[in-house]
Amino acid sequence: MVCPTLQPVKKWIAPLLVLVVIAAVMCGCTQNSSPGSSPAAQPTAAITTPEPAVPQVTTPEIAPPTAPESLNAQDTENESDEDTAGPAISAAGLPATITGLAGSAGGPVDNCVMTHTLPDILTDPDYGLNSAATSELAGFSPGQYATIRREYSETSSTIDYCGEGAVKTPIWTWYTISATITPNGHTLQTYNITLYADYLSTRITVVSTTGTLSPGLDYPYRAYVPMRLDDLEKNVHFELDALPQTS
């Protein structure tokens, strides 16, 4: 009996084994990517919580204490007119010490302007340095002077004080008296403060005021006196008294 040969079987077994190996490899890859598998961890960015900003606190500066204000609390604008020569000024012997007593004249002012500005005073025939018996002068505080100037500036744009027929002479000026008052003694006192004009051996009261002053402090004093320019050339002498009240 003749057996069949195995030669043809060997020829197809080898390729079959190769296919089985490939199939096994592919099956393994499929299982690794199945839905049940856990996904690879993804890198995350680090989150840093910013620290809150610390507010900056500025401590305000405290100004040092100052001496009490002037007797005349309201001040006025600086005069632009050049000072001119005027009456002699002196400080009398006083319980309160007077220093730096001085006077200066402002710019010229026409009569028609000045008499409209101060009609109740300057239209008085006795105002000014006349005879010893009839001479009169008036003084104004810085606050009053500032009010006079403001009222004039508000009305001068609509009122022609020196129109046709107006009398421009005599020429006037504002004469400024300034000084420093330093109280003596050891307690707070009220002083009677008076500005005088000595003319022809007569003492003319120009303006009086009162002030409560502390010893050892300097108080600036200022008064404004309307005067005719020709009166400035006369022999007039201004004095300032600061006497403590006795009652």
96-100 mean pLDDT: 94
127-150 mean pLDDT: 92
The string of DSSP letters for 130-174 reads -STTT-B---B-HHHHHHHHHHHHHHTTT--TT-TT----S-EEE
233-246 mean pLDDT: 92
145-159 mean pLDDT: 89
Residue 124 confidence (pLDDT) above 70: yes
pLDDT at 142: 96
228-241 mean pLDDT: 94
The whole-chain average pLDDT of the chain stands at 73
Both structure tokens of 151: 């009222």
Between these two residues, 67 and 87, which has the higher pLDDT value?
Answer: 87
Helix (H, G, I), strand (E, B) or coil at 121: helix
* 55-69, 150-164, 177-191: the lowest-pLDDT one: 55-69
Find residue 178's DSSP bridge partners.
Answer: 102, 222
pLDDT at 72: 40
